[in-house]
Amino acid sequence: MEDGISTLANFDSALFEHANPPLASIYLPLHGRAGAEEDRVQFKNLVEEVRSKLAQEYEHREHANLDGRLDEVAMHLEDLAGGASGGSLAVLASNDQVYLYRMDYAAGPLVFVGERFYTRPLLRELQFGSRYFLLGLSADRFAFVRGDFGSLDRVELPADVLDEFSEEFPLVYDGHEGALDYSSLENHLPPYHGYKSRKEVRKEEAGKFFQHVNEVVTDHLVRGTDLPVILVSLPEHQTAFRRISTIPHLLDEGIEKDIGGLEAPELLDAAKGVLERERAARAGRLLNGFGDAEAHNRATTNLETIGLALVERKVRALFLTEGAYIPGGFNDETGEVYLFEREPHGRFQGPELADGFVRAALAQDAEVYELPPENVPGDSGIAALYRY
C-alpha cells in the first residue's frame, strides 16, 4: 500500500491542521465483513461525490493525486476498515496524504470538500469520557483496564511493580501470572494481575492491599494522563477504597458489582452509562449559571461574539446542538464569522461554522459539549461560556 495512507490509532488534529487544499473528508458507516460489498459500493459513491465537488471548484491537475489516493483506499477498503461493524471510517484526504480513523460509533455517510478537513463527526473522540480507565477491585486482587467506546483492554503492570506485589503479599501472589479465575471474562478480558482469590481476607489485610493498589495506580498507571477512572467493585469495597484513595480523576459514581461477574459487553455498557451521566452532569453544572453569566457579559449565544471570544482565548465551554449544521466559516485570526445560504436540497456539504468553532475551542483547552437542542441556550445552535 502507498506510504501516503496512514491509519491513526489516536485522533490528533495537529497531524493535518495545515494540510494543503483541496481537502476531502469522507465518513463511511461500516457493516463488517458480512457487509463489505455494501461498504465498498457506498464508498465508491461517496468518492464520486467528492470528484463532482472537486470538478466544480478546481482544475483536474489540482487534485489528480488526491483522486489516486482515494482509488488506493477503495482498493484496500476491506482491510483498512478492519472488519469493524457498527462503527465508521473517517477518510481525510489531500494530494499529499490520506489519514484514516476508525470510530466505534456511527457517522455518515457524509462528504465534505474544501480548504479544511471537516472533523466535527470526530468530536466524540475528543469529548470527556471517550477514553477512560476501569479499576476492578476486590479484597485481594485487582485489574486495571483501558476503555473506549467499543473495547476494553487490560493494562499491563510494570515488572518492578509485579515484583513489589510479590514481596508485599506473598500469601496471595507467588510471583507468577495467575490462572484466569473469573470464567465469565474468558475471551473478553485478560486476567487479573496475578492474584489468586481467597475465600477469606482479614479487614486489615484488605486495607493494606487497598493502600498499595492506590499507590500503584496513582504512581504508575495514571501518571501523566487526565483520563477518568471508574471504580468497579462491590459497595463495601467502594466505600473502603474511596476513603483512602488519592487517584486523580476517580469518578464519584462507580460500578457497584464484582468485575468478575460481568461479561465484557455488560461491563462496557455500564462504563459508558457512568460516563454519559457524568458528562451530562458536567454540562448541567456549567449551564445552570449560564443565564447569570450572560447577563454579566460572561456568556453568549451570538455567533459573531463567540467568534471574537474564541480569538481572545477566553472561552471556557462551548455548547453545540446535536446534528445542527450551520453553513459558514470562521477566521481564527480575526474572529470574523461569515454565513452561507443553504443548498437547495437542504443538506449543506461545504464549510461549517461549528467545525471551526470546535477547532478553536479545543486549541485553548475549552470543554466542548454536543447536546439536544432543548439544552442549548438561545436559538443560534451554539453557546459559549467564558473563563472571565
Reported as a single tens digit per residue, the pLDDT across 237-247 is 999 999 999 99
In Å, how far are 25, 69, 237, 262 from 110, measured between CA atoms?
8, 18, 47, 37
What is the grid cell recorded at 384?
A: 459559549
Residues 207, 327 share a domain: no
- Taking Cα atoms as reference points, which of 149, 145, 123 lies closest to residue 11? 123
Residue 380 lies in a domain: yes
Residues 262, 223 share a domain: yes
User: Where is the domain boundary, 282, 316, 338?
Assistant: 282
User: Where is the domain boundary, 119, 154, 173?
Assistant: 119
Region of poorest pLDDT, from 150-159, 251-260, 355-364: 150-159
Q: How far apart, in whole angstroms, are the C-alpha atoms of residue 211 and residue 334?
A: 52
Residue 105 lies in a domain: yes
Residues 305, 278 share a domain: no
Which carries the bigger pLDDT value, residue 33 or residue 60? 60
Residues 293, 270 share a domain: no
Contact between 309 and 315 (Cβ < 8 Å): yes
- Per the structure, the complete domain to which residue 141 belongs is given by 132-282
Residues 341, 299 share a domain: yes
Q: What is residue 163's predicted lDDT score, i.e. its pLDDT?
A: 64
- Taking Cα atoms as reference points, which of 125, 169, 95, 96 lies closest to residue 27? 125
Region of poorest pLDDT, from 58-67, 175-184, 340-349: 175-184
CATH of the domain at 145: 3.30.420
Residues 139, 264 share a domain: yes
- CA end-to-end distance (rounded Å), the chain: 50
Residue 345 lies in a domain: yes
Q: How far apart, in whole angstroms, are the C-alpha atoms of residue 99 and residue 320?
A: 26
Residues 145, 108 share a domain: no
CATH of the domain at 311: 3.30.1330.30
Residues 139, 278 share a domain: yes
Paired strand residues for 232:
136, 255
What is the grid cell recorded at 147?
A: 476503555
Structural domains counted in the chain: 3
Mean pLDDT over the full length of the chain: 82
Residues 229, 335 share a domain: no
User: Where is the domain boundary, 282, 308, 341?
Assistant: 282
Residues 340, 209 share a domain: no
Provide the CA 369 distance to its chain's centre, in angstroms: 12
Q: What are phi and psi of 385, to 5 degrees?
A: -110, 130
Region of poorest pLDDT, from 4-18, 66-80, 180-194, 324-338: 180-194
Residue 326 lies in a domain: yes
Q: How far apart, in whole angstroms, are the C-alpha atoms of residue 104 and residue 149?
A: 6
Residue 126 lies in a domain: no
Confidence of residue 8 (pLDDT cuts 50, 70, 90): confident
Q: Give tens-digit pLDDT for 160-208.
A: 776 666 667 665 554 444 322 333 333 444 344 444 444 444 566 678 8
Q: How far apart, in whole angstroms, are the C-alpha atoms of residue 40 and residue 273?
A: 33
What is the grid cell recorded at 256?
A: 457497584
Residue 104 lies in a domain: yes
Residues 193, 78 share a domain: no
Q: Rounded mean pLDDT of 74-88?
A: 78
Residue 124 lies in a domain: no
In Å, how far are 185, 263, 267, 271 from 188, measured between CA atoms?
5, 7, 10, 15
> What dihedral do alpha carbons 193, 195, 196, 197 form, nearest 10°?
-100
Q: Where are the alpha helices (DSSP H) in the chain?
A: 36-57, 64-75, 77-81, 123-126, 159-168, 203-216, 235-244, 264-288, 290-295, 303-311, 353-363
Q: Give tens-digit pLDDT for 272-327.
A: 999 999 999 999 999 999 999 999 999 999 999 999 999 999 999 999 998 777 88
Residues 261, 173 share a domain: yes
Residue 294 lies in a domain: yes
Contact between 263 and 356 (Cβ < 8 Å): no
